[in-house]
Amino acid sequence: GAVVSQHPSWVICKSGTSVKIECRSLDFQATTMFWYRQFPKQSLMLMATSNEGSKATYEQGVEKDKFLINHASLTLSTLTVTSAHPEDSSFYICSVIAGGRWTQYFGPGTRLLVL
């Protein structure tokens, strides 16, 4: 399967700062990556679909100006949480689809804590 990395794995920041999370597809050229958020004891919530070379597609209720997604290459997508607030504290996970677009592989996730 595809190997996906995320950086950083853990970040603590002050309220009002911006945080950038990188998602890399290490062995697969991903034209599409997904960004999820997961709160404790809840299932994954799709935030947006990141398409290489074009604008991301955001799910209903996700603020595109707050969660900036850039998919500048076939191996890298970034999610920037702008002006983070404590309620943005969550587990952010990216994924790529592979295997003829029928299988999804996840990165290890990034835990964000906003103080």
Partner 1 sequence: EDKVVQSPLSLVVHEGDTVTLNCSYEVTNFRSLLWYKQEKKAPTFLFMLTSSGIEKKSGRLSSILDKKELFSILNITATQTGDSAVYLCAVNTGNQFYFGTGTSLTVIP
Minimum Å gap between C-beta 26 and partner 1 is 15
Task: Name the segment binding partner 1 (CB under 8 A); options: 11-19, 65-73, 81-89, 98-106.
Answer: 98-106
Q: Which residues contact 56 (CB under 8 A, 6 or more apart)?
A: 35, 48, 49, 50, 64, 69, 71
- CA 21, CA 112: separation in Å to the nearest integer? 10
Cis peptide preceding 86, ω within 30 of 0: no
Taking residues 38 to 77 in sequence order and writing x for each that binds partner 1 by CB under 8 A, - otherwise, the string is ----xxx-x--x----------------------------
- Residues at the contact surface with partner 1, assessed by CB under 8 A: 1, 32, 34, 42-44, 46, 49, 91, 93, 97, 99, 101-109
